[in-house]
Structure 1
Amino acid sequence: MADDMTMALVGNPNSGKTTLFNALTGAKQAIGNWPGVTVERKAGRLRKDKTVVLQDLPGTYSLSPYSSEEIVTRNFLIDEAPTRVLNVVDATNLERNLYLTLQVMETGRPLILALNMMDVLAKEHRREINLKKLSYVLGVPVVGISAIKGDHVEELVDQMLDHDPQCGCYPYPEYDPRVESALSMIQDQLTAIPQAKRRWYAIKLFERDEQVQKAINLSTQQRSEIEQTIATAEGLFADTSDSIIVNARYDYIARIIAMSVVDKEDFSESMSDKVDRIVTNRWLALPIFAVVMWAVYYLSIQTVGTIGSDWLNDTVFGTWLPHVATGALHALNVAPWLESLIVDGIIGGVGAILGFLPQIMMLFLCLGILEDCGYMARIAFVMDRIFHRFNLSGKSFIPMLIATGCGVPGIMATRTIESEKDRRMSIMLTTFMPCSAKLTVIALVSGTFFPHQSWVAPSAYFIGIMAVIGSGVFLKKTQLFAGPPSPFVMELPAYHLPKASNILRSVWSRSRAFVYKAGTLIFASCVLLWFLANFNFRMQMVAQNQSMLRSICGAIAPVFAPLGLGDWRATAAIFSGLIAKENCVGTFHIAFGSGSMAQFEAQLRAAYAPMAGYAFLVFNLLCAPCFASIGTMRKEFGEARWTWYAIGYQTAVAYMVATIVNQAGALIAGTASVWGLSLAIAALGLIGFGLFIKRAQAQKPLAAQAM
């Protein structure tokens, strides 16, 4: 529409920006309590007025172009000139959030402030914000709201729809007089820049913003004058120019706070602070996290989720649906091959995967509660502390948390990492975490080989974390990834009761994606696998031991013998997992023939030792991810070479760890072979070399220099 009004929605991570966007537009974006949930900008139309387009920009702490989300947000504000900017501010972290507000005001875009989480602030009883004074000091409309409860959102909408052309306009924030003098002198040199944009460009040039310096066409004389002005200011303040601007902004924020905020109990602890003293404690944080994740997987895999899965597997897909389908197909006199395709291939293959849906939904429910209440943000903080001990960036753990739902958005979330080396390494390591697709393998192995062992399912989560840490230690010693980790700054949101609508929306969207995948990609995969498992190369329908799948995978199977998986059925399951990890379960079900879940599990136990089953879990957890994730890797890396590096490294790690697991089990059971143990010892030696010996060698030159 030609008369559309465009509004940009900006705010810090965890400020409630996405929640407000959903409330204003009716959209159903993902909501999370860590940076990087909104990696790209998204648009929606205002419910009350469809001519208003709301652009939800990535959450960011500033407009300095150091990360992808800052670049996206800044470019939109400067280049696309939205009609107004709606700045969502966390009322419980006013000082920190106003830093972004001032940077938006420096662009000159008409601004409305939505002071969110006013309900949380009221419960804390620590400070009061005078909204009228805050509005007067800043010169912009300020509306106090609670996006999660919907308080005063209608009032905010009315303010957004105010057609007064002066609504949201304001005088530029004025900083230290010496800074203002320098900015004025720089503006005098920007004669080719429109008057409305000169102040913003002057500030960026004062900060020595490289992108702006390259974008502006200035003469040598103009650049010299500007540099002289900056150098003079740095001499006056005895500081670098970018630090001068940062300090000027915070001085201005301090004046705003002094005029509009009353602090009642400066030295009292909020309930969130008291809880954080325990859950983020240096010694208690990890044990608490381990217990929490054990409880999540225990509820999902061992108890509540299992009730629904057992019913689907044993009753619906195990007996009732195959019986009904067989009776109907016999009545229609269909060909035997078509009956086998429908009953064994589609119902048996896809049904074996859909049977785990209740367990997956339970996992999503538990994780959704932890995300919405604010606990998962604490885990990112705790893991940052651990990661830094191993020279890793805490920002890398954010994509890994997101990847527990799906590896694709997890890989995309690495865009928030500034360092290119850290970003590439995070892309390589993110898919080590167990996603929802891998949960089907975890549930199958746990329920089949370790039905009464509650440690098996959560161990997959911690194996993923250990693989990330161990890989980070090794990769940081190589020239490709050497260097200090990028800094990690994030605010911890206040704890609050999870909102049922947010959690249910999250469970529904993730579960729907799982079912959609089962009905499309996995459906096609099961048909193909059934065909390969029931026909030979002459296109004759044969027994599975004479099929194309048996011939192809049987030739490759010896490669996986050290893992205890040296038969064609396990090999077929491993390779089908590259299409989608859920296919591992469907492939096993097709390869072992149709039947109830109990019969299927009995066949698996007869074919493989328990530790071989666990080795299968470990290998599929750590090896190259599905094709969708590999494609996303290729897109994010920007070149095929790095994608092959990642696939090769992940597969090598998976093979070594799975070999060690299986051979350790075989040694305990007394069934180990000399060849298998030798391979496991070699794998253990390579891992030890990468983690320890190579470090000592790298430190020798430093020691020699010190002598």
Structure 2
Amino acid sequence: MEIALLGNPNTGKTSMFNNLTGSYDYVGNWSGVTVEKKVGVFKSNESKLIDLPGIYSLSPLSEDEGVVTKFLLHDPFDRILNIVDASQLERNLQLTIQLLEFGKPIVIGLNMMDVAKNRGILVNVEKLGEMLGVPVTPVVARSGKGCRELEEQVTTHFDGSFSSNLVDYGKEIDEAILALEALLQNHSAHSTRWLTIQLLEGNEYVKDYLTTFIAESNLDSLIQQTTEKALANSNAKTIAQFIYKQRQAAIAAILKESTKRDENKGIPLTEKIDAIVTNRWLGIPIFLLLMYFMFMLTFDWLGTPLSDALDGLITGPVTDGLTNLLNAAGASEFIHSLVIDGIVAGVGGVLVFVPQIFILFLFISILEDSGYMARVAFVMDRLMEKVGLNGKAFIPMIIGFGCNVPGVMAARTIETPRERLLTILLTPLMSCSARLPVYALFVGAFFTINKAFIVLSLYVLGIVVALILASVFSKTILKGETSMFVIELPPYRVPQVKALWRSTWDKSKGFVRKAGTIIFAGSVMIWILSYAGPNGMNVAMDDSFLAMIGGIFAPLLAPIGFGNWQAGAALLTGFLAKEAIISTMNIIYFAPTEAGLQELLSQYFTPLAAYSFMVFILLYIPCLATVATIYKETRSKKWTAISIVYALALAYVLSLIIYQGGKLLGLM
């Protein structure tokens, strides 16, 4: 049996998927978490659960919403599990009614009953189920309460018969349903009522589907005639608005019978907090203070001591143990150098930053799960609108702080193609976790007193540059109107320890996995290039192939402060993965220990050049995985090439301004 999991954004749908299947998918207390369908298997039986993107309506505006309509039209499944937010029933039931009209057996999981109660909303579950004509089970998706009962309800046999005619749309639409049924001549197994209403609402996917059976001119004629008749005696301006109002009237009648409001409830705590954190003057400063606190944790209070301890383990017992093992095995000088100077120096040099990465992801997970990140998007909307975007575009950018790849993919949630493309182009400017080891290395070497402030300045710089470019692109190569931004602000929640651990580990293990694959392979390749040269093997580093390759770029990098072949070689490997810059430097400078490398860096960089280098790392070409994702999402070689070229040019120009301007001001 295959069951489709559907619901509005931020109703706890993905949490429910995790509870029912025992798997783990990314969960955030904000909309846009699921951008494509995921499939899991129920823990107690072999039934499959298909998690689809959260949507407000089946009439798609964004690309991820189109995934749902295409699934309903073309993919086989048996039942629907609709997750509904008990505190937002009026809005949620808009989608529920459309799903009922689709005609498949449906079970409703009524989530967030606790939130509804805190808001003074009392839901009579039995009455709601009676009014809708389908089973309704109260659940708490975050804790798993009621999930077993819901699983039994949706996977076992139940009477799937129900009325899909909860809404009286009027005789004009009833006539249109009969007319479409005659035109279809039984060519489609889908509910004619659902197809007709979706067609009239402007669902392009449904229209494309119907044109395989019916001439488009006939469909257009049906839409026009029905619209004229339905709007003749209505104050609605469009047929979609007319249908929406009819649904709202039916929903109001259902809620009148099944819900009550406790008038004694005061202002919810969520609204009191929002009065401060979403304030037009305080919102952005509060966000920056939280970011600064995060970097203090990462680089000063917790992260650096833990990284130093791990570094001591790798450079001490691990390196000594491997050395003894290689000596006992009679390994050649080549193998010994490859393992110790190549693999341990390269991979180990990256792994020492795992504690700092873990702390960063833990803090971000807390902000997401608490519901604060949705407020950040809301606060940024005022600023984003001025540069040709809206607050929804800031959500992929925030995701990009973890990794640019899912950030670029999250742009699917944006409605208009222009804003979606603009977001894809700008998201790689966000400072991802892969850049963090580079920052940690350089701030530890040159900015020991102001580590958190320096790193915060880089994150803010990425955001500011993205906003400026959004304004420039919106007025030049990507002109168009800005869409309206509508976001639901979820209630604040205390993050659950288990959910935080799974979320943090899921993000962090990608960093560790990359160290064991891409960084491992890259370290071997870099070491071989540093070990060999035109004159043979085991040559001096300055006479190696790596020095020759890095030397090509050195003259170009001199004006921005780091005109040496070592920097050129490190930047080149950074295209594969930004963490590879650290492994390359460890191999080049023969310094497996972080402290040793930081001491050596002062011979090649000044503090001003170090900051210029970090800015260049922040902005220059996205990593290979991000470039591949940009191409996948845009389906355009032109825009993929533009994303590479403009980022490289931007990084060079900004680093040039910082370095040369700093020299003029007497900074070094």
Q: Does TM-score exceed 0.5, indicating one fold?
A: yes
CA distance in 2, matches of 1:154, 1:10: 18
Q: Note if contact 1:190-1:198 (Cα within 8 Å) is conserved in structure 2.
A: no
Look up the match of 1:11.
7
User: Separation in 2 of the partners of 1:182 and 1:247?
Assistant: 19
> AA paired with 1:446?
V
Please give the alpha-carbon distance, in whole angstroms, between the structure 1 residues aligned to 2:55 and 2:172. 25
Q: Find the counterpart in structure 2 of residue 303 from structure 1.
A: 301
The CA deviation string for residues 254-302 of structure 1, in whole angstroms up to 9 with x for no partner, is 1121111101138842111111111111111011000001011110122
Report 1:462-611 matches (<5 A): 462-478=460-476, 480-611=477-608
- 2:438 alignment counterpart: 441
Residue 401 of structure 1 aligns with which residue? 398
Q: What's the secondary structure of 1:287's corresponding residue? A: helix
CA distance in 2, matches of 1:168, 1:305: 58
CA distance in 1 between counterparts of 2:345 and 2:545 reads 19
Alignment pair present for 1:322 and 2:319: yes
- Unaligned segments of structure 1, at least 5 residues: 672-707
Q: Distance in 1 between matches of 2:488 and 2:408?
A: 22
Which residue, out of 74, 81, 84, partners 1:86? Answer: 81
Q: Residue type of the partner of 2:258?
A: S
- Partner residue of 1:162 out of 145, 156, 159: 156
Matched, 1:247 2:245: yes
3-state SS of the aligned residue for 2:602? helix
1:149-198 alpha-carbon deviations (Å, 9 max, x no partner) = 1221122122113313x236333222243555454454454442458611
Q: Which residue matches 1:702?
A: none
Normalised TM-score (structure 2): 0.95
CA shift digits 1:239-260 (9 cap, x unpaired)? 2111111111122211121111
* Corresponding residue SS for 2:603: helix
Q: Deviations over 1:631-656 (max 9, x none)?
A: 11111121212111110011111111
> Secondary structure at 2:632's aligned position in 1?
helix
Q: Residues 402 and 106 of structure 1: is their aligned pair in 2 closer, same or farther, counting only changes over 3 Å?
A: same
Shift of 1:428: 1.0
Equivalent residues in 2 for 1:58-207, closer than 5 Å: 58-122=53-117, 124-164=118-158, 166-167=159-160, 169-178=162-171, 180-184=173-177, 186-187=179-180, 189-193=182-186, 194=188, 197-207=191-201
RMSD (CA atoms): 1.9
After superposition, what is the alpha-carbon deviation per residue over 1:447-471, rounded to whole angstroms, capped at 9, x for unaligned?
Answer: 1111110301222221111111011
Structure 1 counterpart of 2:229: 232
8 A Cα contact 1:318 1:597, kept in partner: no
Distance 2:598 2:184 in 1: 77
Distance in 2 (CA, whole Å) between partners of 1:268 and 1:477 is 47
- Taking a change above 3 Å as real, the CA distance of residues 323 and 158 of structure 1, as seen in their structure-2 partners, is closer
Give the whole-Å Cα distance in 1 for the aligned partners of 2:658 and 2:29: 35
- Answer yes or no: is the 8 Å Cα contact 1:189–1:226 preserved in 2: no
The more displaced of 380-389 and 466-475 is: 380-389
Alpha-carbon contact 1:174-1:180 (below 8 Å) kept: no
CA contact (8 A) 2:172 2:229 kept: no
Q: Is the 8 A contact 1:183 1:206 kept in 2?
A: no
Pairwise CA distance, 1:204: 2.2
Distance 2:586 2:75 in 1: 54
**Would you say the 8 A contact 2:87–2:119 is kept in 1?**
no
Contact preservation (8 Å) 1:118, 1:146: yes
Instruction: Provide the identity percentage.
Output: 40
Alpha-carbon shift at residue 595 of structure 1 (Å)? 4.8
Q: Which one of 345, 356, 360 corresponds to residue 357 of structure 2? A: 360
Preserved CA contact (<8 Å) 2:349 2:593: no
Relative to structure 1, the CA distance from residue 401 to residue 186 in structure 2 (aligned partners, 3 Å threshold; closer, same or farther) is farther
User: For residues 594 and 196 of structure 1, what CA distance do their matches in structure 2 show?
Assistant: 66
Tell me how many residue pairs correspond in the alignment.
662
DSSP-derived class of the 2:233 partner: helix
CA 1:302–1:233: 2 relative to 1, 3 Å: same
Alpha carbons of structure 1 residues 265 and 232: separation in structure 2 relative to 1, 3 Å: same
Query: 1:31 — aligned with what?
Result: 27
Q: 1:580·1:626 contact (CA, 8 Å) conserved in 2?
A: yes
Q: Which amino acid aligns with 1:77?
A: L
Cα distance in 2 for partners of 1:607, 1:225 equals 74
Whether the 8 Å CA contact 2:438–2:581 is kept in 1: the answer is yes
- The CA distance in 2 between the partners of 1:179 and 1:261, in whole Å, is 32
Partner-residue secondary structure (3-state), 1:237: coil
Using structure 1 for the length normalisation, give the TM-score. 0.90
Moved more, 533-542 or 208-217: 208-217
Most deviating of 545-554 and 316-325: 316-325
Shift in Å at residue 26 of structure 1? 0.3
| 1:75–1:652 CA distance, 2 compared to 1 (3 A) | same
User: Which residue of structure 2 aligns with residue 276 of structure 1?
Assistant: 274
Aligned pair in 2 of structure 1 residues 538, 170: CA closer, same or farther (>3 Å)? farther
Deviates more, 1:576-585 or 1:186-195: 186-195
Q: In structure 1, how many angstroms separate the alpha carbons of the residues matched to 2:218 and 2:281?
A: 59
Contact kept, 8 Å, 1:563 with 1:663, in 2: the verdict is yes
CA–CA distance in 2 between the matches of 1:18 and 1:149? 13
**What's the CA shift for 1:206?**
2.3
Report matched runs for 1:382-421 at 5 Å. Answer: 382-421=379-418
- 1:635 aligned residue: 632
Find the aligned partners of 2:402 and 2:388 in 1 and give their Cα distance. 26
Counterpart AA for 2:250: Y
- Larger mean CA deviation between 136-145 and 332-341 belongs to 332-341
The 8 Å contact of residues 120 and 265 in structure 2, kept in 1 or not, is answered as: no
Contact 2:4 2:80 in 1 (8 A): yes
Partner Cα distance (2:356, 2:204) in 1: 50
CA distance in 1, matches of 2:20, 2:472: 47
CA deviations on 1:372-401 (whole Å, 9 max, x unpaired) are 111111111111222012221322211111
Q: Which runs of 5+ in 2 are unaligned?
A: none
SS in 2 for 1:455: helix
Letter of the aligned partner of 1:611 in structure 2?
A: L
Contact 1:78–1:107 at 8 Å: present in 2 too?
no
